[in-house]
Structure 1
Amino acid sequence: MSENTTTKVSDDELKEMESQTDWKALQAKTDAEIQQDIAADPDAHALDADWFQVAQSVVPSSTKKRITIRLDEDIIAYFKREGDGYQSRINDVLKTFVIAKRIQDERSSRSP
């Protein structure tokens, strides 16, 4: 994973930021060159057709319930390495899992 931290900005700040993408260089690349660049990037992860079958946009809940949960130390360490907001990231991973399971269950119940 990248060692960069995530920066939060408002919609207005985002609109004011300049893109750091060299669009001319990107447009000059062939599909094969782009695929090579992706393959060489340790942070890039291919998303296959199965992923897109279950992927959904997740809107954060405005209501969260405070609980106590016991997690393995290596799990906590992994999420904390990514910086502030690790509890929200754990919540996002769990929410994505729940959504994927619901979709899987719905498909199973519709199957003959």
Structure 2
Amino acid sequence: MNNEPTSSNSQTDWQRLDAMSDEDIDLSDCPEITPEMFVKAVVRRGLPTTKTKAQVTLRIDSDVLEWFKSQGRGYQTQINQLLRAYMEAHQ
């Protein structure tokens, strides 16, 4: 299969987009994000980084741990991703 783009010429009017303010953007076809949507959100990040991991002992409420485990394989990675997102949001 050929992954080459069919056209190298962009059809986007970049100058018009750069000149737009937030108020000029039509969001009428986008649903408003609700708190319930955030509850169901899953943090996804790109490929794993080469950062080293540190093994720690961490006390977590048993129901919280069981919930993460019930999400399936990779629950420790998911916990790490959530902690990273929290860290980055509070820097």
TM-score interval, normalised by the smaller of the two chains: 0.3 to 0.5
The structure carrying a bigger helix percent of its residues is: 1
Tell which structure's C-alpha radius of gyration is larger.
Answer: 2
Q: TM-score, normalised by structure 2?
A: 0.48
